[in-house]
Amino acid sequence: MANPQTVQKNWYVVDATDIPLGRLASKIAVILMGKNKPSYTPHVDCGDYVIVINAAKVKLTGDAEHKKNYYNVSMYNGGLRTRSSGVMAREFPEEMVERAVWGMIPKGRLGRQIYKKLFVYKDEKHEQEAQKPVVLDLKK
């Protein structure tokens, strides 16, 4: 069993260009949780850090661009804001990828800790060059 002191965490860069959003999010969630490692332990954060670049070029399949909606509620009367996937992909691509990944990791204290290891950027520039991340190809 792994414990927080023995877990080895790596940094990975994922290029989201032309990868369907759901497939990208599920593969990233597996890496963030550490389920791809033989030492996976459900109650320990044993996953790796993931940097997603080119989030604006992620692919939406089928009719998702028009039919899928994202909701925010302010808890006031009439405070429901609705955005389609097309609007999210054009104006807020980072948030769209983050929400897809958040939906696939466990909720609670450990899930919030896992989620903090995700960094999403609209284009190819990112701020984690000092960590020397390894390029990970998810197009397979």
Q: Tabulate helix, strand, coil % of the chain (nearest 5).
A: 35, 20, 45
Instruction: Write out the residue range of the structural domain in which residue 100 sits.
Output: 11-60+92-136
Instruction: For residue 17, give the CATH number of its domain.
Output: 3.90.1180.10
The predicted structure's pLDDT at residue 1: 86
Question: Running along the chain, 140 residues long, what does each successive block of 10 average in pLDDT?
Answer: 92 97 97 96 96 96 93 95 95 97 97 97 95 92
The predicted structure's pLDDT at residue 7: 93
The predicted structure's pLDDT at residue 14: 97
Residue 76 lies in a domain: no
Which residues, including other chains, have CB under 8 Å from residue 44's CB and lie 6 or more apart? Answer: 1, 2, 3, 4, 7
CA dist 12 and 106 (Å) reads 21
| Tokens 């927080």, residue located | 4
Residue 26 lies in a domain: yes
